[in-house]
Amino acid sequence: MIGILFLVIALGIGGKFYMDRKKVDDLYRHGFSLLEEQIATYIVEHYAGVSKVEFSPIYVDWSIDTIETVPVIYDQSGNRAILGGNIRSQNIVFSGFGVPTGFYSLGFDHSGKHIIYLDASKDGGEIDVSNSTVLPEAARLEKSRDIDDNIDALIADCQLTAIYKQDGGSPNAEIVYNVEIIQGEVDDKWQ
């Protein structure tokens, strides 16, 4: 009898833990799908010469309190450059994309519904995208100094060639979104 009671309690606790983890993972996938769309849309609409924008999985690293994705840009020559991080030749460090940067808020309200505010919007301020499944027009960036400065530094470092800022950008660029969740640090492929 005690064994059965113990088993029922263990299953209840395990089930609760699983459901809570699933709820949090769904929030991360929802929020990051919109953040990735915002970043990719800005790049392909404002930069010519881009062949592909690709995203890493979502890395959740509680040891340093970050949840991030790594955007990667490919030029027409096949060169690959990572947005965010360190450009050693220029002694510049760019912030990553996710939490704590990229989102103004990413969490739950008192009833358990998603709260998702992106840091930037078309008018420059944070924007509530909690109820959106695709990036709303008001969340499309007209300008992004962070992305522009990062791409300029990658071009100056010769990691990207023949990419330049131009309205209309690269309408045929491939975009590869990724909302897989990985616990731990960003691995070497994405650094």
Q: pLDDT (tens digit, 9 = 90+) per residue, 55-66? A: 999 999 977 788
In which element (H, E) is residue 27 found? helix 2-46
Q: Which residues pair with 67 in a beta bridge?
A: 60, 99
Cα first-last separation, the chain: 54
Q: pTM for the whole thing?
A: 0.90
Peptide bond into 100 cis (omega under 30): yes
Q: pLDDT (tens digit, 9 = 90+) per residue, 142-173? A: 999 999 999 999 999 999 999 999 999 999 99
Handedness of CA 144, 64, 106, 176 (dihedral sign): positive
Q: Where are the domains of the chain?
A: 2-190
For residue 7, the model assigns a pLDDT of 64
Q: Is the pLDDT of residue 124 over 70?
A: yes
- Please compute the mean of the pLDDT values over residues 103-126 and round it to a whole number: 93
